[in-house]
Amino acid sequence: MGSEIKIDHTFRNKLPASMAKREELNVWSMVKRSCGKELSSVTMPVIFNEPLSFLQRMVEYMEYSNLLVKAAQETDPLIRMQYMSAFAVSALSSNWERPGKPFNPLLGETYELQRDGFKVVCEQVSHHPPVSAFHAESEHFIFYGSIYPKLKFWGKSVEIQPKGTVTVELTRWGEAYTWSNVNCCVHNLIVGKLWIEQYGTMEIRNHKTGHTSTLTFKPSTGGASKDIHRVEGFIQDKDNVKQTFIYGKWTEFIRCTDYSSFEDYAKENPNKFRSSDSKYNSVGSESPAQTPKKVLAKLNSLKMGQSLFKSMSISANEPDDEDSSDGPEDVPKSDSTFSIDIPNSVTLWEANPRPERTSEFYQFTAFTMSLNEIEPSMEGKLCPTDSRLRPDIRKLEKGDLDGAAAEKHRLEEKQREAKKTRKSKKGQEWTPKWFEKQMNKYTNQEDWMFNGKYWERDFTDIDIF
C-alpha cells in the first residue's frame, strides 16, 4: 500500500513570518503561580507556544521512517533491532533547540499526514487526562501508540514525561517491537541559555525473537560533561547475551559495533566509559527553595525577553555573555576527549541538517517546517478537525500574537461550553471517532487502537474550531 502513496509537491523551507519578538514578561509571578504544577493545568501565555499542535509534534516521529523500511528489508533480526534502535533515538532529535511549547490539542482534534511511503492519522482521544493517539502505516510497517504527556514547571526548568508505549509491527516478519520514550528537560528558563536534555533508560523489545535493546540517555552532570547528549547501550539476544554495542548522540548520530570490538576498545580506553562522577538528581526533585540565591536575587526584577528565548544555535562552547559565573545556569560543555569512535562501527543514522534561518522559525527542522502546510491536494479534503485549520496556530504562524491569544481563548471557552452541554444531557458522553480502546496484545495493556475508518473521509457533523 505504501508504494502507492506519492506526493508531488515542493515543501516550504520557511514559515510565513519570523518568530514573533517576545515582549517582556514578569517571570517571578509565573514562577509563584505555576511551580510544581502540571503545565496542562496552567494557562500559559501564547508567547510560549510554537505554531504546532502536539499532534503535529508527535508526527515528527516519522521524519526518519526510512529506518523502519531498512529494518523491514533486513533478513537478520539483530540488524533489524539495530535499525529499530536508531529509529527510536532519531524520533527525539527534533527536540534539540526546541524550547517552544506545542498547543494542547482540543478534544476530538485530528491531524493527518501522507508522504511518500506512509500515511499517519492522529486524534486527541481524551482531554482530562490529555491523551493523543496515532496510527501510521505503509507496506513495510505499522506504527502506533498513545502518548500521555506530563509536564511540570520547576522554576528553573520544565520536565516532560512522555507516558505511554509505542508499537512497531514489521508485517513481513510478523514481529512487533515496543518501547516507551525517556524524559526530557528544558533547562535555564530563568537565567542563561536554554538547553534541552533527554535522560533515562529506553528498552526496545522484539516480542517474537526475544531480542532487547537497552539504551541509556545519559544526563549531564553540570560544568564540563562528557555525557551531554550521549546515548549508549547493548542489544541482547533471548538468552541475554550481548551482541551489539549501540552508541552516539541523540542530537546527531547513532552507530553500532559488535560486542567484541566494544570490549577491546573499552579495555584500551577505560576513561571513556567510567561512571559519572556525581549522582544525577532528577529535575522532579527541584523546587524554588533549591534555586541558588544568585538566581533568586534576579527573579524579583527579571524580565523575560532575550534571556528566555535566546537562539540556541550559538555553540555551547561559546562563553555565556549573560552571566558566565552562575555555574548551574551555564550550558554544560561537551568534552571532546571523551568522543568515541570504535573500530568496525557502522553508522545507522545521522540527523538531517536544519534549514537556513532555522533560529528565526522556532528552530524547526525541514520536516517540521512542512507539517502545518496546507498542500493544494488537501483543499476540500481535510477533516474539519485537522490541526492545520486551527485559527490560533495559523495566526501564530503568521506572526499575529494578539490574534493567536484571542483565538486560543475562544477555542478553550468553546471546549468548556461543549463539555457543559454534554454533562447536561444524560447519555451524551463524548467518544473518539477514529480510535477505540482495545487491548494491545503485545503489552497486555489497554490502549487506543485505530478503527480504520478515517480514510473513508466521512467528516459530517464535525465542528470544534
> Interior CA angle at 60 toward 440 and 52, to 5°?
110
Closest CA to 108 of 86, 130, 137, 76: 130
How far is the C-alpha of 6 from the C-alpha of 14, rounded, in Å?
A: 23
Q: What is the DSSP string of 326-372?
A: -STTSPPEE-GGG----TT-EEEEEPPPPPTTGGGTTT--HHHHTTT
Residues in the chain: 465
pLDDT value at residue 323: 39
Q: Give the number of other CB atoms < 10 A from CB of residue 431.
A: 9
pLDDT value at residue 427: 59
176 contacts 169 by C-beta, under 8 angstroms? yes
Q: Is 260 exposed, middle or buried (0-12, 13-18, 19+ CB in 10 A)?
A: exposed
**pTM of the predicted protein model:** 0.84
In a 13 Å sphere around the CA of 278, the CA atoms on its Cβ side amount to: 9
Counts of helices then strands in the chain (DSSP H, E): 10, 22
168 contacts 176 by C-beta, under 8 angstroms? yes
How far is the C-alpha of 59 from the C-alpha of 149, rounded, in Å?
A: 14
Residues of the chain with pLDDT under 70: 1-8, 21-43, 221-226, 274-330, 333-338, 426-427
How far, in whole angstroms, is CA 124 from its chain's centroid?
A: 16
How far is the C-alpha of 97 from the C-alpha of 74, rounded, in Å?
A: 33
370 contacts 24 by C-beta, under 8 angstroms? no
Task: Give 185's strand partners.
Answer: 159, 197
Q: Give the number of other CB atoms < 10 A from CB of residue 120.
A: 23
How far is the C-alpha of 138 from the C-alpha of 266, rounded, in Å?
A: 40
* pLDDT tens digits for range 212-236: 999 999 987 655 566 789 999 999 9
* pLDDT tens digits for range 85-131: 999 999 999 988 887 889 999 999 999 999 988 999 999 999 988 99
**447 SS3 class:** strand
Q: Give the number of other CB atoms < 10 A from CB of residue 129.
A: 11
The amino acid sitting at 45 is P
Q: Is 359 left (phi over 0), alpha (psi -120 to 50) or beta?
A: alpha
Closest CA to 154 of 323, 328, 317: 328
Closest CA to 311 of 60, 34, 18, 7: 18
pLDDT value at residue 320: 37
How far is the C-alpha of 48 from the C-alpha of 155, rounded, in Å?
A: 15
